[in-house]
């Protein structure tokens, strides 16, 4: 697996709080067969989760040195999970937030409980300026659980979808599980990722491919979900 969404970079958000915790998560990831991880700390403007790119890069250098000492061979890339905001373009220009691996791809999060009326306008402006929006864990938003068709407008304008694979095992409740399975059956999900936050979590990958195959009925789609589309993001290629 290549993991597009994680909170492993220490001390930046509600994820890992220390380099020791980050290393322990990475050891578990390596043991589970994860080869590549995108580090996507939350960025929420005017909150305590607003570390700029320089701060993130400095912590990444520290983490990579510790990984080398521990013999952990995983490729790490840097980005953000960006809480939706009308100033995203300015924040990129100001070197506050980072597209995924400095590509055109942006991982964007919506409010969990309350629908944002101007989300489509914000997404349209980002796309008009050459960016590709990836919506983080659409199955977890309560208003999407109430009406999955609310995603159609986003999909039609070119927004891609990243599901949390643990939703398939009930981690976020039965509604999230239902929505993600439905979206997978409709071939509307491009990525499955962990969204891992803490060392107490596990990478449950042993039976994931078989489980996915029962849902999507196509080995090539499973490859795209777990590896190939990740590679396209890293290479800044079209999906």
Residue range 135-159, pLDDT digits in tens: 999 999 999 999 999 999 999 999 9
**pLDDT at res. 103:** 98
The whole-number pLDDT of residue 206 equals: 87
What pLDDT, on a 0 to 100 scale, did the predictor assign at position 43? 98
Is a pLDDT exceeding 90 seen at residue 168? yes
Find where tokens 């409709």 sit: 186
The contacts of residue 137 (CB under 8 Å, 6+ apart) are 5, 109, 162, 163, 164, 167, 172, 195
Q: Mind listing the domains of the chain with CATH numbers? A: 2-234 (3.20.20.140)
Residue 237 has pLDDT above 90, yes or no: yes
Nearest to 111 by CA among 92, 90, 135, 133: 135
Q: How many CB atoms lie within 10 A of CB 215?
A: 17
H or E element that contains 106: strand 105-109
The predicted model gives 101-122 an average pLDDT of: 97
Which pLDDT score is estimated for 1? 95
Rounded to an integer, the average pLDDT of 85-93 is 98
- The residues near 8 (Cβ < 8 Å, ≥ 6 apart) are 15, 16, 22, 25, 26, 37, 39, 63, 196
Instruction: Report the distance separating Cα 82 and Cα 42, nearest Å.
Output: 6
Kindly state the average pLDDT of the residues 42-56: 97
pLDDT of amino acid 204: 87
């Amino acid at each position: 697996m290549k993991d597009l969404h994680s909170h492993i970079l220490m001390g930046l958000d509600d994820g890992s709080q220390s380099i020791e915790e980050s290393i322990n998560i990475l050891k578990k990831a390596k043991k589970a067969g994860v080869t590549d991880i995108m580090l996507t700390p939350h960025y929420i403007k005017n909150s305590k989760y607003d570390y700029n790119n320089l701060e993130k890069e400095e912590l990444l250098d520290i983490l990579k040195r510790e990984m080398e000492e521990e013999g952990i061979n995983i490729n790490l890339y840097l980005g953000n999970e960006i809480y939706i905001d009308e100033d995203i373009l300015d924040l990129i220009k100001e070197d506050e937030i980072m597209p995924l691996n400095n590509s055109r791809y942006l991982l964007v999060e919506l409010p969990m409980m309350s629908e944002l009326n101007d989300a489509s306008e914000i997404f349209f402006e980002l796309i008009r300026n050459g960016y590709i929006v990836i919506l983080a864990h659409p199955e977890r938003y309560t208003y999407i659980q109430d009406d999955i068709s609310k995603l159609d407008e986003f999909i039609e304008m070119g927004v891609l979808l990243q599901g949390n694979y643990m939703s398939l095992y009930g981690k976020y409740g039965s509604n999230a599980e239902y929505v993600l399975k439905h979206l997978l059956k409709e071939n509307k999900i491009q990525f499955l990722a962990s969204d891992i936050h803490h060392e107490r979590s596990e990478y449950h990958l042993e039976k994931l491919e078989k489980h996915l195959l029962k849902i999507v009925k196509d080995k090539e789609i499973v490859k795209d979900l777990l590896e190939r589309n990740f590679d396209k993001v890293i290479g800044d290629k079209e999906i």
